[in-house]
Chains A and B, each alone.
Chain A
Amino acid sequence: AQSVTQLDSQVPVFEEAPVELRCNYSSSVSVYLFWYVQYPNQGLQLLLKYLSGSTLVKGINGFEAEFNKSQTSFHLRKPSVHISDTAEYFCAAPRRGSYIPTFGRGTSLIVHP
């Protein structure tokens, strides 16, 4: 099984609508969870991270994610998306016994006007 699974390869949504990008992790990874965003022709930028503490994590650009241990999930949400949010989003976590992050396959968020 994949260590970090992003359930949707593509998510189309209209501008100003809410969005949720799904991420599930397996027991083979440590519970240090990250979401990165990659805009076209750019590198990855950290959106938010969960290391411990509050299960609701707020990040940049109005994004937030909720760590759910029972569901082994770390879904990313935004209440109202903009055209500029169109990008590739990656969920990541390090394998147990390592600190090197394993990345999900990515979810392409496409925001339509």
Chain B
Amino acid sequence: KAGVTQTPRYLIKTRGQQVTLSCSPISGHRSVSWYQQTPGQGLQFLFEYFSETQRNKGNFPGRFSGRQFSNSRSEMNVSTLELGDSALYLCASSEAGGAYEQYFGPGTRLTVT
């Protein structure tokens, strides 16, 4: 099976712009989670989607949003970018969430200037 893929791998944006990141989970996986990874805060949970519904949400402002399509592919959007949004954004998929392990994609490195 193909692994989790994320596009694009690298992005450079300017403050105030918005960005959309894409994630394709492993075939058959219905749960997709998003994480933000920074040197200062480590790995922080953004949100989880399951069968096109947001099932869990972390403590991030409303500028961070996401969605999931019927084929389980997911996108996350960040509006009005701030310098502090520079990070590695990781997507992870699992069969059904829960205690099952997550399979991570390579991430999208976002740099906001």
Known: A43-B4, A90-B43, A103-B43. A34 touches B101 (CB 8 A): yes
Number of interface residues of B (CB under 8 A): 21
Number of interface residues of A (CB under 8 A): 23
Which of B43, B99, B107 is close to A94, meaning CB atoms less than 8 Å apart? B99
The total number of A-B Cβ pairs within 8 Å is 45
A1 contacts chain B at the CB level, 8 A cutoff: no
Within 8 A of B (CB), among A91-113: 94, 98-106
| Complex contact A32–B106 (CB within 8 A) | no
How far apart are the CA atoms of A106 and B105 in the complex, in Å?
Answer: 18
B residues apposed to A, CB below 8 Å:
4, 6, 33, 42-43, 45, 48, 56, 58, 90, 92, 97-99, 101-107
Q: 7 A-B residue contacts at CB 8 Å?
A: A34-B101, A42-B107, A43-B92, A43-B105, A46-B102, A94-B99, A100-B45
